[in-house]
Amino acid sequence: MKKILSILFFVLISCNSSQKIIVSNLEEETFVQAYKTAVFYGCVNEATNDNFNKFSKENNDLGLATTVAILNHSTNEDAVNYGKEISKKVRTINYADYEGKKPIFADCMAFAFSKEVDSIARIQFLKR
């Protein structure tokens, strides 16, 4: 009987710690996604001279409200500022049909959802 109780106890403990790992991984992925979203927002907003923010407000969008709820104000602000910095990498295209235009959306998306930003977000998650 002791052996059965010991095995049962071990199984229960194993299930409980496994559940904590799953919850922790889900929490980390949610944080990382929110961080990348804030970076993207900062990049697009800076590259459009605050027009993305204006568009967001005019269309009754929540903006980064849900992101701030996940990250906190300070981390969100850091991510937005990083996005502003990477917006400087968006370059004008000098190709016939696109002369003088910038791939703001595409470049900001590529930068914000890159492995580099993923790594930064995971480090920020561990710091909190």
Cα–Cα distance measured from residue 60 to residue 47, given in angstroms and rounded to the nearest whole number: 21
For the segment 61-82, what is each residue's pLDDT rounded down to a tens digit?
A: 999 999 999 999 999 999 999 9
User: Would you call 22 exposed, middle or buried from its count of C-beta atoms within 10 A (0-12, 13-18, 19+)?
Assistant: exposed
Residue given tokens 């900001």 in the structure block: 108
Q: Which residues contact 32 (CB under 8 A, 6 or more apart)?
A: 118, 121, 122, 125
Residue given tokens 């590529």 in the structure block: 110
Give me the pLDDT at residue 15, please: 55
Sorted by where each begins, the domain ranges of the chain are: 38-127
For the segment 77-126, what is each residue's pLDDT rounded down to a tens digit?
A: 999 999 999 999 999 888 777 778 899 999 999 999 999 999 999 999 99
Give me the pLDDT at residue 13, please: 53
Q: At what angle do helices 73-86 and 2-47 cross, to 10 degrees?
A: 50
Cα–Cα distance measured from residue 72 to residue 8, given in angstroms and rounded to the nearest whole number: 41
Radius of gyration, alpha carbons of the chain = 21
For the segment 6-46, what is each residue's pLDDT rounded down to a tens digit?
A: 554 555 555 554 444 544 778 999 999 999 999 999 999 99
pTM (predicted TM-score): 0.79
